[in-house]
Amino acid sequence: MAVVSLPTADGGVEEYEAGEPLEFVTSAAGAFPRIAYSAAHVVSDPYADCDPWLETAIDWDATIEYRRHLWSLGMGVAEAMDTAQRGMGLDWPTSLELIKRSVDAAKDFGEGALIASGAGTDHIAPDPSLTVDDIIAAYEEQCAAVEAAGGRIILMASRALAAAAKTPDDYAKVYARVLGQVKEPVIIHWLGEMFDPALAGYWGDEDHLKAMDVCLDVLADNTDKIDGIKISLLDDQKEIAMRRRLPDGVRMYTGDDFNYPDLIAGDDQGYSDALLGIFDAIAPAASAALTAMGQGNLQRYHDILAPTVPLSRHIFKAPTRFYKTGVVFMAYLNGHQDHFTMVGGQQSTRSALHLAELFRLADKAGLLADPEEACARADIIMAAHGIGV
């Protein structure tokens, strides 16, 4: 019997008994009816002698091994994205090293190993005094580095552009110049302010629907250089509305960690592919669900993913930018890393109550691979909070 001491909302402690994990039937790369990228987290090095708020220390072996785990499940890897704490501890030099290592590791899995990597402007500080040319140059530097490493590009939203843009035309100019130079079609990333407050008003308007018009014009003007767009607004109706207006040949990649099952399943007018942070935490279930969809069993697809939605909504609850803590906690519970420390000390961004509820929801979704080990690991974290000791 696997039992863990978990805090309760009334200030007490319960002895929670974990259930049995589900057995997921997964597939290798190329077997899914949808493209499925998992935005992968990084594993920090707890033995490094550094100041976590100021310096980045990565356990490279554990970090790359987790990517191998994702590829073995048929998932693609979206590298050096915000799930990897990009802009929240992971700096550009370390991000580039991560990209190089991951691109190299993907070669072991052949052409079926999907990997695309984030290129942005995070090596320059946001400042209203920056010019459009400054931001273009920053994008060019990172895009060139990703391509030199043999990678494909996810063109990340730019805090610098959000701070400096005076009109929607500034967005059009930046994206046109950058896209005009890329070697292969890219994925555009529209990250909402709930994920990063510094990106409020992206595309030149606080109103998402008006901003969407600007973004769609950019897509239409550069279609031959765009594979698709990922939007992370946590609003399924906005995603569907945009999906139905996309230029021919441009994919929608859902970044909606609240409503992903239905968005991926789609409707009679289309569907979304996936580029999701939650797929890091629920990778076996995501692979099994997409396997079932590929076999024509849509009911099984929904049955597998339905219990993961409460878990995802909890992990991504406001302040949403702290969701990375839940993703790493899941990796720790399931033995993919030996500790619960994060780049930048971000393990402190969620409370013991939050982590306790995450444990319960993960258990109910059948996602704790070894319940006894997960309980033992959760006990360590709770004891560090003075709970159950």
Q: Does residue 35 lie in a domain region?
A: yes
Does residue 235 fall inside a structural domain? yes
Domain membership of residue 218 (yes or no) is yes
Q: What local confidence, expressed as pLDDT, does residue 110 receive?
A: 83
- Domain assignment present for residue 84? The answer is yes
Looking at residue 116, its pLDDT comes to 98
User: What's residue 52's pLDDT?
Assistant: 87
pLDDT tens digits in sequence order for the chain, 389 residues long:
899 999 999 999 999 999 999 999 887 766 899 999 999 999 999 999 989 888 899 999 999 999 999 999 999 999 999 999 998 999 999 999 999 999 999 999 887 799 999 999 999 999 999 999 999 999 999 999 999 999 999 999 999 999 999 999 999 999 999 999 999 999 999 999 999 999 999 999 999 999 999 999 999 999 999 999 999 999 999 999 999 999 999 999 999 999 999 999 999 999 999 999 999 999 999 999 999 999 999 999 999 999 999 999 999 999 999 999 999 999 999 999 999 999 999 999 999 999 999 999 999 999 999 999 999 999 999 999 999 76
pTM over 0.85: yes
In a domain, 180, yes or no: yes
- 208-213, long-range: CB < 8 A, 24+ apart: 208/233, 208/235, 208/238, 209/238, 209/241, 212/238, 212/241, 212/242, 212/245
Task: Specify the number of domains making up the chain.
Answer: 1
The pLDDT of residue 111: 79
Rounded Cα gap, residues 63 and 40, in angstroms: 9
CB atoms within 10 A of CB 348: 12
CA distances, 273 to each of 33, 76, 263, 276, 347 (Å):
9, 12, 8, 10, 30
Position 11 in a domain: no
17 within domain boundaries:
no
Identify the pLDDT of residue 31. Answer: 82
Per-residue pLDDT at 30: 66
Q: Residue 200 phi/psi, 5° resolution? A: -60, 135
| Spatial CA neighbour of 38 closest among 273, 317, 345 | 273
| Domain carrying residue 369 | 26-384
Rounded distance between C-alpha atoms, residue 163 and residue 198, angstroms: 8
Q: Residue 291 belongs to a domain with what CATH number?
A: 3.20.20.70
Which pLDDT value is given to residue 256?
98
Residue 82: predicted pLDDT = 96
Residue 244 within any structural domain of the chain: yes
